[in-house]
Amino acid sequence: MKIHVRDFDFYYGDTKVLHGINLDVPERQVTALIGPSGCGKSTFIRSINRMNDVIPEARGEGLIEVDGKNIYAPGTDVVALRRRVGMVFQKSNPFPKSIFDNVAYGLRIGGVRNKRELADTVERSLQRAALWKEVKDRLHDSAMALSGGQQQRLCIARALAVDPEILLMDEPASALDPIATTKIEELISELKESYTIVIVTHNMQQAARVSDRTAFFMMGRLVEYDDTNTIFINPKEKMTEDYVTGRFG
Amino acid sequence: MHVQRHFDRDIEEIKAVLLRMGAMVEEAMQQSIRALLDGDLAVAEQVIANDDRIDQMEIQIDQHVIELIAKMQPAAGDLRFVATVMKITPELERIADLAQDVCERVIELSHEPAIKPMTYLPRLAEDAQKMVRDALDAFVRGDAELARKVIRNDDVVDQLTEESFRALLTYMLENPRNISPAIRLTFIGKYFERMADGATNICEMVVYLVEGRMIKHSADPS
């Protein structure tokens, strides 16, 4: 198991928003987190690379291990953790810099100065993110001129540039049109050959299409976690059935 | 909080058409048995004439289900319902076709010397009819237990088909003039056996609908 979660609780101040989450994420597979708004799925995904640390009075209790190491253990290098566990957000957030500089950003922060190495990694990352062909002749144009779908793939390329093992995606296609969404979904299928992917999505058909396993969250609890086929064809829990069939208002 | 969905209304509509179709198929079966046992050619003609309406209902259900898949992308129980309907509808249509085949043979038999008594065949027909009726009940009630009971009964029908054939064979051996009508009656026996097979297929899908388990092609339906 790439990610191992046991009895994980999460609080914003006095408010408990995750209750005793137990979940194992297999390596090089896509795990989808689904559930209604406010169910805790985004809080949970942000716990996996400690992105919640930046929120005042937010704290987690319990165990989250990546490759067998507790990421909440004292002395954990959070920057190194986030390099291994990359993240892509709902709204693409390129820096107001060139396409090249966006992808090279993490490498430069990490101390890479060699121009050849930077250029190679930028090209490889853009290729992996299925964006290279569209931008290779304008790498030094502003990233802000790209379309929404291209910007999102640029953010994926930026996350891939630092060579992570895990990719967390928080509704990566929810702001995109159907064609751009299809590209992101195809990309996810290709990326899982090399990366472990956890994706939060409101689009249940997207979860059904891209994921191997699906976790259904409801009011801060993990209701059901199983093969995606089981969740969408024959779920065990009535609550899951009601959610995937749209019976919940 | 539960919400009433468009989907629920669609499901109810599809179910209603399927049940009307089921009732017509049952009636076609019943009439084919009457035509056979009483030699009632008017009833036989009626069954043949009604088959078009059953075919139309199959098309109507198919179209509705395809639209539903396109628009609603059903999941979980909804998906199993849609898959079940798509498998059940052609089974019903085929049962109606077989009832029509029975009637065609009955009309042909009216020009042949009669064979009496028709050993085993009446019971075979009635058993097959009961299986179809129970299969539809199991679908309507979502009753996997009843579905399994129907599936187990298929062996009895297979046995009756075999016994009916053997009895007809003795008629053929007794007198070559019996060969032609006995062959037609053998066909009829086979048609009823296949109607029972249709009921079995429907029941396998009912178990899938209720439990999400595919039990076809397995030796033990329990």
pLDDT, tens digit (0-9, with 9 covering 90-100), for B166-176: 999 999 999 99
Closest CB from A208, A231, A245 relative to B77: A245
pLDDT (mean) for A217-228: 97
Give the residue among A237, A144, A198 at the shortest CA–CA distance from A34. Answer: A198
Average pLDDT over chain A, rounded to whole?
94
What is chain B's mean pLDDT, rounded?
A: 93
Residue A249 has pLDDT above 60, yes or no: no
Spatial strand order of the sheet with A196-200 comes to: A85-88, A166-170, A196-200, A30-34, A213-218, A221-227
Answer yes or no: are the C-beta atoms of A36 and A218 closer than 8 Å.
yes
Residue B9, SS3 per DSSP: helix
Alpha-carbon span B57 to B52, nearest angstrom: 9
Cα of first residue to Cα of last residue in chain A, in angstroms, is 35
Q: How far off is chain B from A195, nearest CA to CA, in Å?
A: 28
pLDDT beyond 60 at B1: no
Partner residue opposite A241 with nearest CB, options B5, B7, B77: B77
Contacts of A241 in chain B (CB under 8 A): 76-77
B78 interaction partners in chain A (CB closer than 8 Å): 245
Give the pLDDT confidence of B9-66 residue by residue, as tens digits. Answer: 899 999 999 999 999 999 999 999 999 999 999 999 999 999 999 999 999 999 999 9
- Would you state the pLDDT for residue A110? 87
Task: Give A76's DSSP letter.
Answer: -
pLDDT tens, residue by residue, B122-152:
999 999 999 999 999 999 999 999 999 999 9
Partner B contacted by A207 (CB < 8 A): no
Tokens of A209: 């299409």
Q: B79–A233: do the CB atoms touch at under 8 Å?
A: yes
- What does the pLDDT average to over A73-77? 93
Contact with chain B for residue A246, Cβ under 8 A: yes
Per-position DSSP letters for B148-186, written without gaps between them: HHHHHHHHHHHHHHHHHHHHHHHHHHH-GGGHHHHHHHH
Cα separation values, A81 from A44, A71, A159, A244, Å = 16, 8, 13, 34
B7 and chain A in contact, CB less than 8 A: yes
Q: Coil, strand or helix: which one is A217?
A: strand
Length of chain A: 249
The H-or-E segment that residue A87 falls in is strand A85-88
What pLDDT score was predicted for residue A117? 95
Q: State percent of chain A over pLDDT 90.
A: 90
Q: At what angle are helices A148-161 and A115-128 packed, to 10 degrees?
A: 130
DSSP-derived secondary structure letter, A26 = P
Question: Is B75 within 8 Å of A245 when comparing Cβ atoms?
Answer: yes
Where b means 16+ CB within 10 Å and e means fewer, A199-234 reads: bbbebbebbbbbbebbbbbbebebbbbbebebbbbb
ipTM of the predicted assembly exceeds 0.85: no
